[in-house]
Structure 1
Amino acid sequence: MSTNPTPDLPRLPDGMRILTHEEMRRVRDAAHDVARRHGVFTPVADEISYDALAVAGIFIQPYTPGPDECTAMYLPHTDDVTADMRGVWQQCADEPDHDGADHDSGEFGWRDGDMGAVPARPVEA
């Protein structure tokens, strides 16, 4: 099982950052208030608000990686990433403790030292 209950945060270019949990809660609450007033489903409001923030270089916190896969994560953050994938956390789909520093989610490939990468944590024996 993974020993990564709370992922580290990646290095990002100057001017980009990860929202705190409190900031995420405030954004979500505001989006839900607006969504209710306009009859929009709240998950749609979440997606719109988080996607808009991502375009500005402000990203949501990573989720807790699944225990049956490598715990390495990657945050697509560059302008060459399509809008629907920018800011969407990726988890390596390989086996836990696979060899090497190369990771792949099926959508993106990255190395541990890349900007936006969170290296894998060791797996308990």
Structure 2
Amino acid sequence: MADAVDAEDRSTARRVVTEEQYQAAVREAGAILSRAGAFAGEEPLADAVTAVLAAVGLLVPPPEPELDTCTAQFPDERGDWWQCLEDPGHEPAEGHDAGDWSWSDDSPEAVPARA
């Protein structure tokens, strides 16, 4: 399991782009790939845009959390968002765990659980 501290060592806090900025980047990248005959589908396109943005210090907006687990979220080094798998309302001081990642509410870029 990776720890948020590992990700902190590799980068400074990244800025989250707006949903409009993200959609504009996806549209533009899709248009370029389509013109080149290299469009591979919506999901690979979104993954590529997310990774490219993360490589230059930008994050896509976090997804709407699933409400059946703790809603805290954390982005990995590729810009993919992870949601805590603990029960809703668990003690946040104990940290959050998404299986592959663990983090605390005070980790840079962490989105604390909704009240």
Assess same fold via TM > 0.5: yes
8 Å CA contact 1:32–1:46 kept in 2: the answer is: no
8 Å CA contact 1:74–1:117 kept in 2: the answer is: yes
Equivalent residue, structure 1, for 2:32: 34
**Is 1:111 aligned with 2:104?**
yes
8 Å CA contact 1:93–1:105 kept in 2: the answer is: yes
* 2:92 aligns with one of 88, 93, 100: 100
User: What fraction of aligned residue pairs are identical, expressed as a percent?
Assistant: 31
Moved more, 36-45 or 63-72: 36-45
Secondary structure, aligned partner of 2:92: coil
Within a 5 Å distance, the mapping from 1:18-57 to structure 2 comes to 18-37=16-35, 38-42=37-41, 43-57=43-57
Unaligned 5+ runs, structure 1: 1-11, 78-85
Q: Note closer, same or farther for the CA distance 1:96–1:32 as it changes in structure 2 (3 Å cut).
A: same
- In the alignment of these two chains, the number of paired residues is 102
Equivalent residue, structure 1, for 2:59: 59
**Aligned-residue offset at 1:97:** 0.4
Equivalent residue, structure 2, for 1:91: 83
Unaligned 5+ runs, structure 2: 1-10
**Aligned-residue offset at 1:36:** 2.1
**Aligned-residue offset at 1:71:** 0.6
Equivalent residue, structure 2, for 1:71: 71
Q: TM-score, normalised by structure 2?
A: 0.79
Q: TM-score, normalised by structure 1?
A: 0.73
**Aligned-residue offset at 1:35:** 2.7
**Aligned-residue offset at 1:94:** 0.7
Q: Which has the higher helix share?
A: 2
